[in-house]
Structures are given as C-alpha cells and as structure tokens.
Structure 1
Amino acid sequence: MPNNSTKIVAGAVLLLIGSALILGAGLRQVPLPAIAGSIAALLLAAGSVLLGTSEGGQPV
C-alpha cells in the first residue's frame, strides 16, 4: 500500500493531466473526442479517490 505522500502526488498528477485535457480542448475550442473525454474523466476520478483516501480515517 502506498504511503500518504505518494497518494497525494499521484492524485495531484492525475488531476492535473485530466484537467489539462478537458480545459485545453475547451480553450482552443476544439471538440474533444469521446474517448479522450472518457479518459480525462477517469483520470479526474482516480485522482480524486487517491487524494480523498490519502488521510487516515474513513473516507467520505
């Protein structure tokens, strides 16, 4: 099981990549393909889970 700092860094990186995909396509006004949008959404979800479970105790 990874420690807390590893989860925080990995979660932040996943959130950054997913956000960059979605916001980058939006700012350039380029339609985002469905597969890229799906991957970006999964990256955002995985990053959120990692950050949410990085602290001790029961995640909400």
Structure 2
Amino acid sequence: MLDPRDDAALLDLLAALDACGYDFVTPTPATHARVVARSGHGRTVRDLLGWSRIVPPDAI
C-alpha cells in the first residue's frame, strides 16, 4: 500500500511540472526505435532517462 505522503509528493511533482509548462507526449514505438538506433552514445540526462540511450558517466 502506498504511503499517503508518496501521493502528496507525486501531486507536488505534477503541479511543479504543470507550472513550468511541461507536456508529456508519448512517442510511438517507431520513434523510440529510431532514436535508440542513432549512432554514438547519448550526451544528456534526457538521452539517458527519456530514451534509454547509453550515456558515458562523464557526459552528465
């Protein structure tokens, strides 16, 4: 069972994301495959967390 504090933390996160104008757009499997197939390693936290690309530790 989730702790009610966990729910509050998630709601706070959602409110913060909304306040800064963040919009999540679900990529299609084809889009994800195209990004992951790019040559070389990722360079950013977005590459690592958003696209599951390999990112060298010294890049972030």
Which structure: greater helix fraction?
1
Higher RCO (CA-CA < 8 Å; seq separation 6+): 1
TM range (shorter): 0.3 to 0.5
Q: State the TM-score, normalizing by the size of structure 1.
A: 0.33
Q: State the TM-score, normalizing by the size of structure 2.
A: 0.33
